[in-house]
Amino acid sequence: MSNNNNGVAIVPEHLAIIMDGNGRWAKKRILGTSRGHRAGVEALRTVLRAARARGVRYMTVYAFSSENWKRPSDEVSALMALLKRYLANEVAELKQEGVRLSFIGRRDRLGDDIVAMIEAAERDTADREAFRLNLAVDYGGQWDISNAARLLAEEVAAGRLSPSDINESTVHHHTALSELPAPDLLIRTGGDVRISNYLLWQSAYTEFYFCDTLWPDFGAADLDAAIDEFATRQRRYGGRTEDAVC
Ligand code: IPE
Ligand code: IPE
Ligand code: MG
């Protein structure tokens, strides 16, 4: 993360996005929900390019939450088909542009064909270093933390770890994205002001930016506005950035 002399962050190194509002975007146009999700993929392309141009290094986007299975089955099917199409059409270009693709979330509830495509995309782009795009699919922050607890419990049961070794650091190393710096900025589009079970552990000191723009309408200028606002934030992490008199 870059800072100016006052400890003010300039460009987020790691940007997280809750891409919300596809359904309302489609409804406003009297279109089916899946058209909104398709428009959302276009917005992702645009924002990825703009984020790279602004100097962002890592981007983690919420594509499908662990609660989105509750949606009508035809919408879930359309979203899965869209993910497959994205993987089939985009991976070669992302690879060529130096983008490493990673997925966070559960894999045991996804179709075997999607899991195979996810694994192939991760393998094919594993050596790319210019930019990292993480897609959160069947991801939930509560799952992430409880999964870390389960993995640690297994290590304790196997005698490789003692309960007293469990602390912030060991939990952290079993959560998603532990190899990356925490998100500096989290943007949620679509007007709702909540976290919807996104990166609960990872966002402990993330700056939040909420905007009303529906995700398919979110473009480079909106990203600039979010980053400009981020640049004004004072990040203290519980400490003090200025001299204080007691
Ligand atoms: C976000 O858009 C995309 C996913 C959850 C997959 P929504 O589909 O939630 O859009 P709204 O909130 O209904 O407008
Ligand atoms: C969060 O949006 C999930 C994604 C953007 C993938 P939702 O639309 O599912 O969130 P809620 O239900 O409004 O909290
Ligand atoms: Mg929504």
Active-site annotation holds for 20:
yes
Cα Rg, the chain, nearest whole Å:
19
Residue ranges covered by each domain of the chain: 14-140+185-191+208-231
- In this structure, which topology does domain 14-140+185-191+208-231 adopt according to CATH? Undecaprenyl pyrophosphate synthetase (3.40.1180)
**Ligand 2 atom at shortest distance from the alpha carbon of 68:** 9
Predicted local confidence at residue 135, as pLDDT? 98
Q: Whose CA is nearest to atom 12 of ligand 1?
A: 21
Which atom, in ligand 1's list, is nearest to the CA of 65?
5
| Strand ordering across the sheet containing 185-188 | 99-104, 131-139, 58-65, 14-18, 185-188, 207-210
CB neighbour burial string for 33-46, b if at least 16 within 10 angstroms, e if fewer: bbbbbbbbbebbee
Would you state the pLDDT for residue 242? 75
Q: Which of 4, 5, 6, 68 is catalytic?
A: 68
d(CA 203, CA 79): 26
pLDDT at 1: 43
pLDDT of residue 9: 55
Residue nearest to atom 12 of ligand 2 (CA): 196
Backbone φ, ψ for residue 198 (5° rounding): -80, -150
Closest residue by CA, ligand 1 atom 1: 20
216, 139, 68, 203 alpha-carbon torsion, rounded to 10°: -60
Q: Which residues line ligand 1 (CB under 6 A)?
A: 19-24, 64, 68, 79, 190
Q: What is the pTM of this model?
A: 0.96
Is 68 annotated in the active site? yes
Residues belonging to the chain: 246
Q: What is the pLDDT along the chain (246 residues), one digit of tens a residue?
A: 445 556 555 999 999 999 999 999 999 999 999 999 999 999 999 999 999 999 999 999 999 999 999 999 999 999 999 999 999 999 999 999 999 999 999 999 999 999 999 999 999 999 999 999 999 999 999 999 999 999 999 999 999 999 999 999 999 999 999 999 999 999 999 999 999 999 999 999 999 999 999 999 999 999 999 999 999 999 999 999 777 787
In the reported structure, the alpha carbon of residue 95 is separated from the centroid of ligand 1 by a whole-number distance in angstroms of: 28
